[in-house]
Amino acid sequence: MPHREDPVPDTPFGLGLQHVLLAMPRGGEDDARAFYGGLLGLTEIRKPTVLIARRGVWFRGDALEIHLGVEDPFRPARRARPGITTRDLDLLSIRLHEYGLPVEMDEFFPPYRRLISEDPFGNLLEFVTPRA
């Protein structure tokens, strides 16, 4: 079995991740904008016209695209989570703490430093940066 540090093998399909979809409660768009747009600095992008009626909000920045969709009844993701790379894990940790969100530094994922937090809706988020 290959190790995590081994070169990434190609698939016959050229797979990649275009976006991550997270759930949010009905009416949570402003909280999503404050967190994903304000704190993380992502840019809100327009949803396709045929999807606007479903509510929710989409964001993009750097190599990341996150879609938040309304789930009713809402249940936050407490185990499944996106692993998001960042250049400055320490600054992000400070900002998340100032925002009032939990911050748990985790050293169990070499060769990365890892931070576990959550969005305003309680969805788990994992942020990683390569060890120096």
Predicted confidence at residue 109, as pLDDT, reads: 85
* Positive or negative torsion for Cα 87, 83, 4, 6: negative
Predicted confidence at residue 2, as pLDDT, reads: 75
- Per-residue confidence band for 75, with pLDDT thresholds at 50, 70 and 90: very high
Q: Kindly state the tokens that stand for 116.
A: 């576990």
Domain count, the chain: 1
The model's pLDDT over 77-118, given as tens digits with 9 standing for 90+, comes to 999 999 999 999 999 999 999 999 999 998 888 889 999 999
List Cα–Cα distances, 68 to 13, 31, 87, 111, 129, in angstroms: 27, 11, 23, 30, 24
Asked if the structure places residue 59 within a domain, the reply is yes
Asked if the structure places residue 14 within a domain, the reply is no
Q: Whole-prediction pTM value?
A: 0.91
**Least confident segment among 5-19, 74-88, 118-132:** 5-19
H-helix or E-strand spanning residue 91 = helix 89-98
Asked if the structure places residue 1 within a domain, the reply is no
Asked if the structure places residue 102 within a domain, the reply is yes
All residues at 6 or more sequence positions from 64 whose CB lies less than 8 Å from its CB, including other chains: 20, 42, 84
Residue-number span of the structural domain to which 110 is assigned:
20-130
- Per-residue confidence band for 18, with pLDDT thresholds at 50, 70 and 90: very high
Asked if the structure places residue 42 within a domain, the reply is yes
Find, among 67, 18, 22, the residue nearest to 45 by Cα. 67
CATH number, position 45: 3.10.180.10
Predicted confidence at residue 70, as pLDDT, reads: 96
The model's pLDDT over 26-65, given as tens digits with 9 standing for 90+, comes to 999 999 999 999 999 999 999 999 988 889 999 999 999 9
Asked if the structure places residue 124 within a domain, the reply is yes
Asked if the structure places residue 7 within a domain, the reply is no
